[in-house]
A = this chain, B = another copy of it.
Amino acid sequence: MAKFIYFFGEGKAEGNGNMRELLGGKGANLAEMTAIGLPVPPGFTITTEVCTEFYKNNRNYPASLKAELEENLAHLEKVTGKKFGDEKNPLLVSVRSGARASMPGMMDTVLNLGLNDKTVKGLIEKTGDPRFAYDAYRRFIQMYADVVMGMDRDLLENILEECKQAKGVQADTELDAEDLKKLVVLFKEKYKETLGQEFPSDPVELLWGAIGAVFGSWMNHRAIVYRKLNNIPADWGTAVNVQAMVFGNMGDDCATGVAFTRNPATGEKYFYGEFLINAQGEDVVAGIRTPQPINKEGGASDLPSLQEVMPESYDQLVKIKNLLEQHYRDMQDIEFTIEKKKLFMLQTRNGKRTARAAIKVAVDMVKEGLISEKEAVLRVSPSQLGQLLHPSLDPKAPKEVIAKGLPASPGAASGAIVFSAEDAEAAAAEKRKVVLVRLETSPEDIHGMDAAQGILTARGGMTSHAAVVTRGMGKCCVVGCSDIKVDYQKKQFSNRQGEIFKEGDVITLNGSTGEVMRGAVPTIQPDISGDFATLMGWVDKYKKLGVRANADTPKDARVARNFGADGIGLVRTEHMFFQGERIRAMREMIMAEDIEGRQKALAKILPMQRQDYYDIFVEMKDLPVMIRLLDPPLNEFLPQEEREMAELAEIMGMPLAKVKAIAEHLHENNPMLGHRGCRLGMTFPEIYDMQVQAIIEAACELTRDKGFNVVPEIMMPLVATYNEMHLLKERADKVAAEVMERLGVKIKYMVGACVELPRTCLIADRIAEDAEFFSFGTNDLTQTTYGLSRDDSGDFLPFYVEHNLYEHNPFISIDQTGVGEMVKIGCERGRKTRPNLKIGICGEHGGEPESIKFFHRIGLNYVSCSPFRVPVARLAAAHGALEEEMKKG
């Protein structure tokens, strides 16, 4: 029979730190900490298997669970010397979730479980503090009613408010034991009135209720959203940790805190954390009171530190910190409580950190001999790296600081102010950039935080919900900005100067300094030297997949090269046709009624195109540049508005009706599947002739004039048949030969196919007879393989993703099962004909870490992504290679 519960306590544990899958992160680490002798309150972990079984069996527990729970509860009573439901010496427990991957704030927690009208007396007797006991009791009722029973939180909160008003006080702390005792009665009455049943008094019944709530919360909305954002499979499940309570709120010799073994924002090596005196653990994270620093390192706040206030506990904590970091060989995020001067460890886990910190910690730890280079590479998450690569505020730009808060998550963000997660989400759907401003954030806000450019909160510390979550997201965040007063009603905030900032006003955040500025402040390029360069050196040592960039301009090309691209994987020539003069010549070509007219217009475009290619080749020197010939339907180049059409008619000396007729003729019902890609090159060969001529001329000139070894790669888009590839290659070769003959320069060049249709994958063996390379256009391949238009899926794709109908959004992370299989078939068949066929991808997926790892596994030669994603892709490629190595060895 399966074992469903693992006990820990008194220096022994049934589980250990390697059992994350079964015990969840928290449970595994509680067991590990217990085993290595740290002071951990005893308790037990109900495994993730129970959660999985629970959902498999229509929310029923395994049959043997009840007996196992009773046994462990008895064990816990024995170890603590307390008894569950005992009037004299009651055992109180916390019930917390703990999934395999850390999901901060996502799961529900119940504290002080075990209190009822009888046991509260025992607690008073033991602590001699009736106020504490009744406060714990009323908190428990509130928490249980909310979390376990789903009662509207405000129902009890209002009673508390009324009570405070009746007494004429502001803070909860001003209520005395009698007040709280009355509250308990009122709360229970309200509970009965609302739910039609008495508040349970049997602690075991309450415990089962709480366990059920934790498992239930695995499928609540915010947990689902978090999992989506972090690619956590729904079938992992959560564990439940039942642990004897310790109290940080039993007086001023009590405290509770959270700390990181190194600075999680910068990675600097000093002990970093916050605590609150006389508080329960949740108070620190919730950000309701502004916490004190644990020491004075790193320019922490001026409040008294733990080191000053409780030096003995601090020293003990430092020893534990050092032990943990050595033990886990990684930066730790710990939670502790001091009950009557006695230190307890409630949690340790690998600390979330910014990309900058991740790099610094990894590089430092290699220097410290703690980890290897390969481990260091694997310690930095590719998806996080992006935050380092985007611009930060230009220090020389003028800026007007309107307020200052805590620098919770670095980076810079500008956007219009919004005051709710819903508004942020709505704005993102319209592609408006916004900054989400809140008093504080809660797990319900996650979707809005994801949608916003940056987050600003008036309350909370560096470990508040907003701070922790945004760091994980790699999103700029300023918290605890007490300079501002937020008015949700009026949708505005004011600063200390009394200036009003309304919804829609633009502000800028600096997540590295905590500054809030008026308007949009200009930004500068990131620094990619130092630790970053060291790490990327290791990355390049271990990666096998090449990383190119998609670049349409010399500027893009420069950025790409700067970020370590191995070449350019996609020049979209159509982007070149939209600028200034060119669009006019392009439209002239489209309006032309015969080949002569088209050739006349193309002759105007030729020198511009040649210059385009020349400039990009110059930037890339000897690195390969892959150019895709004209791809979009001609319709896209025509004006859509009546007024613009009239202008075009005048320029062309054509009646408006004719312009309209041509545009109408070019309109397509499904342009994605229409007259585009190489179908244009087949029906209007003069267009591709011009482009090939421009490419080869530019390459020849550079070779002749500067001695560069330019090897242009010419890509034919939307190839679907052998005939297309064969004839296009033949024609391109002919044009190239003519140019080289005329200029008297010989260069190497390649002609290949953009593989973006299922048919092309299926006949890849035939395509490869002519194509010298394949570049998978995974965007279009996803659209056709899935029968899914990226433009039109907005109506149902979010529904699908939310309801787990698609594993991921297939336009973000490649659908490995379907589209990926198509790519695999294309590779295999292509290489059957041409074993050394060079294969890459040029879709959006080229910058997405999971996709990149997949492309590594199936043996592609390179991926191509946007210039700013190049380091991300390099890192992901290294991860792919190292993960494969680990699997093999």
Contacts and interface: CB of A to CB of B under 8 A. Distances in A.
Interface of A: 665, 668-675, 677, 679, 682-683, 718, 720-721, 723-724, 727, 756-759, 762-763, 780, 783-789, 791-793, 795-796, 799-800, 803-806, 815, 817-819, 821-822
A673 B796 contact: no
Contact of A822 (B762, B783, B800): B762
Given A789-B669, A791-B670, A796-B679, A784 B763 contact: no
B795 A675 contact: yes
Nearest to A821: B762
A735 to B, nearest CB: 19
Contacts of A796: 675, 679, 682-683
A799 B678 CA distance: 13
Contact of A805 (B674, B682, B785): B682
A815 B759 contact: yes
A799 B682 contact: yes
A694 B16 CA distance: 57
Given A757-B786, A821-B762, A804 B723 contact: yes
Q: Which 10 A-B pairs have the closest CB atoms?
A: A673-B789, A759-B818, A674-B792, A758-B758, A670-B789, A668-B792, A757-B787, A669-B791, A670-B672, A758-B785
Contacts of A727: 805
B759 A791 contact: no
Contact of A792 (B673, B682, B803): B673
A673 B672 contact: yes
Among A758, A762, A800: residue with most chain B CB under 10 A: A758
B763 A818 contact: yes
A530 B819 CA distance: 53
B679 A791 contact: no
Contacts of A787: 672-673, 677, 718, 720, 756-759, 780, 784
9 contacts: A669-B792, A673-B784, A721-B806, A759-B815, A759-B818, A762-B821, A763-B818, A780-B787, A784-B785
B822 A721 contact: no
Contact of A720 (B672, B673, B786, B795): B786
A668 B721 CA distance: 28
Nearest to A719: B787
Contact of A799 (B683, B757, B804, B818): B683
Contacts of A792: 668-671, 673-675
Given A670-B673, A805-B723, A784 B799 contact: no
Among A671, A675, A682, A792: residue with most chain B CB under 10 A: A792
Contacts of A668: 789, 791-792
Contact of A819 (B665, B759, B793): B759
A143 to B, nearest CB: 33
Contacts of A758: 758, 784-785, 787, 818, 822
Given A723-B806, A762-B821, 18 more contacts: A669-B789, A670-B671, A670-B791, A674-B789, A677-B787, A679-B800, A682-B800, A682-B803, A683-B799, A720-B787, A720-B788, A724-B805, A758-B784, A759-B786, A759-B787, A759-B818, A763-B821, A784-B787
A437 to B, nearest CB: 30
Contacts of A683: 795-796, 799
Nearest to A759: B818
B817 A763 contact: yes
A192 to B, nearest CB: 32
A213 to B, nearest CB: 26
A65 to B, nearest CB: 27
Nearest to A762: B821
A671 B669 contact: yes
Among A670, A795, A817: residue with most chain B CB under 10 A: A670
A639 to B, nearest CB: 18
A792 B665 CA distance: 10
A47 to B, nearest CB: 26
A820 to B, nearest CB: 9
Nearest to A818: B759
A762 B670 contact: no
Contacts of A757: 785-787
B783 A759 contact: no
Contacts of A783: 670, 673
A718 to B, nearest CB: 6
A386 to B, nearest CB: 29
A723 B802 CA distance: 13
Nearest to A674: B792
A806 B727 CA distance: 13
A288 to B, nearest CB: 38
Nearest to A820: B762
Among A665, A785, A793: residue with most chain B CB under 10 A: A785
A195 B369 CA distance: 91
Contacts of A671: 669-670, 792
A665 B792 CA distance: 10
Nearest to A680: B796
A56 to B, nearest CB: 14
A785 B759 contact: yes
Nearest to A804: B723
A223 to B, nearest CB: 19
Nearest to A679: B796
A156 to B, nearest CB: 31
A787 to B, nearest CB: 4
A805 B671 CA distance: 21
A168 to B, nearest CB: 46
A809 to B, nearest CB: 13
A723 B807 CA distance: 10
Contacts of A815: 759
A829 to B, nearest CB: 10
A792 B789 CA distance: 16
A724 B721 CA distance: 32
Among A672, A724, A804: residue with most chain B CB under 10 A: A672
Contacts of A762: 785, 817-818, 821-822
A10 B614 CA distance: 73
Contacts of A793: 674-675
Contacts of A800: 679, 682
Contacts of A817: 762-763
A721 to B, nearest CB: 6
Contacts of A682: 796, 799-800, 803, 805
Contacts of A822: 758-759, 762
